[in-house]
Each structure stands twice: as structure tokens, then as C-alpha cells.
Amino acid sequence: MSVTEPAGRQTIPLVHDGLDRPYRLQFPPNGGADRLPLLVELHGRGIDAVRFDQLTGFGALADEGGFALALPSAVGEIWNDGRNPAEGSNGRPDDVSYLASVIDNATARMPIDDRRIYVVGMSNGATMAGRLACELAERIAAIAQVGGTAAVAVAAGSHPSRPVPIVNIHGTADDYAPYEGGVRHSLRGRVVLRHSSGPAVGVDDWARFWVAANGAVGDPAVSALPPDTTIRAWHGPSPSSDVAFYRIEGGGHTWPGSRIALPGFLFGRTSRTVDATRVSWEFLASHRRT
């Protein structure tokens, strides 16, 4: 996979908790005086930030859509999303604080609209995004998750300080982040990701968590995108109540619609029904923190 990066991207030095933790920051070519949205993109376990961005295509979309993009990096390519039984949800590294520092640093360097700060992630990056929504709700306008929810321990003790709109895209045949929750249970999942991690919330329980937290009301509006995708969408008294969950029948631990398909024998089937990058950004961009 090529590692060519967009011209407007720079490596930004950052020291956090005594560790050098630089991140990449991308400014759109036509960015002007208006304050820009900021998207923080969280890679999955075992893939670096640049290669993950090439998988998703957010770098190209940022230039097209006129938003700033931050690509932070986890220590050892593993985010402390609260599932590590050895460290616990409050263990080191403190990635909640680190990502807050990335946001602070980016907003100090660019004209960022602090009402339009978004987070997207896949796998371990998705569960980290879920933790941020729970613990940093006052900074986050909306989140998007692919192939991940949140650590059981994080969700159990969380009471978000404000509603956080969420879009979640998840395959039912995901061996690494099982749709029903718990821990990865297949031989494929255990071999590829050797490090152990604690349980994650099931997708349906995670949807119920945010329906309640965001004050959404009533039954979801259900729609289908043949041949494999069902969308459940909940709404409430304001756009901040929005909750949208995409269920991909037979979908694996992949990024739907990616032009770079992960090996099917390792990660399962990549759906082409939805473009997870554009679905995520369109949802995120439609929300502002109030």
C-alpha cells in the first residue's frame, strides 16, 4: 500500500505525559478565513494512522469537502479504549487526555470551529471514539464508528454530559468485534490480534445506550439498502438526539465501500452497498455541538 500523503498534511510535534506523540494535521487547499470543521480519525489496532487513512479515503475527502483532518497515533498502535483488563479503563496511556490535547493543539494552529469537532474510528479506534463520546462529550459534536462500540466497563459507568449524535456501521459476521458483544471468539480473530482485550458492548445494547443518553423518542425508522444493509434511525427533540445504526448482514471486520479491500480470508467480506466514508462524513457534518 502506497504511503503518499496529501500536500497539505504536516507532522505536528506533541509531547503528552512525557511521551513524544506527534500527529498529522491536514489543512484543505481552499481553506479560508471561515472556521473549519475538524475530523479526528482514529486508526484500528495494528495499522498506522497514514495507512488507515488510505483505507478510508478521508484524506482525499477532507480536501474535497473543506474540513481539517487530524491523524493521531496510539502508543504501540493500540488505543486505551478501556477494554485492557491489565490496565483498566483509567490505565495508561491516558488516551482521552491525549486526544483532547490533539484537539487543543489543532485548534491553536488552525481556524477550527469548536462546535464542529468530530471523531471517526474503526475497530479499536471505534471503541476509542465510543469512550471519547462518553467521557469527552462536552468537546465532541458527533462520532462515527465502524466495526466497534465501546468497552463494557466504559459504558457501564458513563453518563455523557450532553447528547452526542452517533452513526455506527457494523457487520453481523465480524469476528474481531462481534455484533452481539463480548470478546473476539473465532480462531481468525485470535490469531490476527494476539493481544487480549476485555469485552465490548453489543451493537443493539450500544444503540439503546445512546437512544437513552440522547433523549431520542419512539421506535426507529427502519429502511433497507439491498442486498445486505438495514438502517435504524432514531430522532428526538433536536438534531443532537440523532442515532443511526447500519447493520450489514454477513459483513466482516472491514471498511464498507473502501477501494482497498482487506483480505477476505482474514477479515471477512467487505460490503459495497454503502460507502462508510461518505456515510460517516455526511452524518457528522450535519451536526453541530450546541
- Residue 186 pLDDT: 55
One-character DSSP codes across the chain: ------TTEEEE--EETTEE--EEEE--TT--SSPEEEEEEE--TTS-HHHHHHHHTHHHHHHHHT-EEEE---GGG----S--TTT-TT-SS-HHHHHHHHHHHHHHHS-EEEEEEEEEEETHHHHHHHHHHHH-TTT-SEEEEES---BHHHHHT---SS---EEEEEETT-SSS-TT-BS--SHHHHHH--S----B--HHHHHHHHHHHTT-EEEEEEEEETTTEEEEEEE-SSGGG-EEEEEETTB-SS-TT-SSPPPHHHH-BPP-SS-HHHHHHHHHHT----
- Residue 30 pLDDT: 78
- Residue 128 pLDDT: 98
Which residues fall within 8 angstroms of residue 64, CB to CB, at 6 or more apart? none
Domains and CATH numbers, the chain: 9-285 (3.40.50.1820)
Per the CB < 8 A criterion, the answer to whether 6 and 30 are in contact is no
User: From the CB of residue 101, how many other CB atoms can be counted at a distance below 10 Å?
Assistant: 18
- Residue 33 pLDDT: 59
Q: How far is CA 87 from the centre of its chain?
A: 22
- Residue 161 pLDDT: 95
What backbone torsions phi and psi does residue 127 show, to the nearest 5 degrees? -70, -30
- Residue 88 pLDDT: 43
- Residue 89 pLDDT: 45
Strand order across the beta sheet in which 68-71 lies: 9-12, 23-26, 68-71, 36-42, 112-122, 142-146, 166-171, 243-248, 229-235, 217-225
The pTM of the whole model exceeds 0.85: yes
Sole residue written with cell 427502519 = 222
10-residue mean pLDDT profile of the chain (290 residues): values are 75 96 93 85 96 97 95 96 65 90 96 97 98 97 98 94 98 96 66 66 98 96 98 96 98 95 92 98 96
Q: 77: which 3 cell numbers? A: 498502535
Q: Using CA atoms, how far apart are residues 244 and 234, in angstroms rounded to an integer?
A: 6
- Residue 1 pLDDT: 45
- Residue 88: name the closest of 154, 178, 176 by CA: 154
Per the CB < 8 A criterion, the answer to whether 179 and 207 are in contact is no
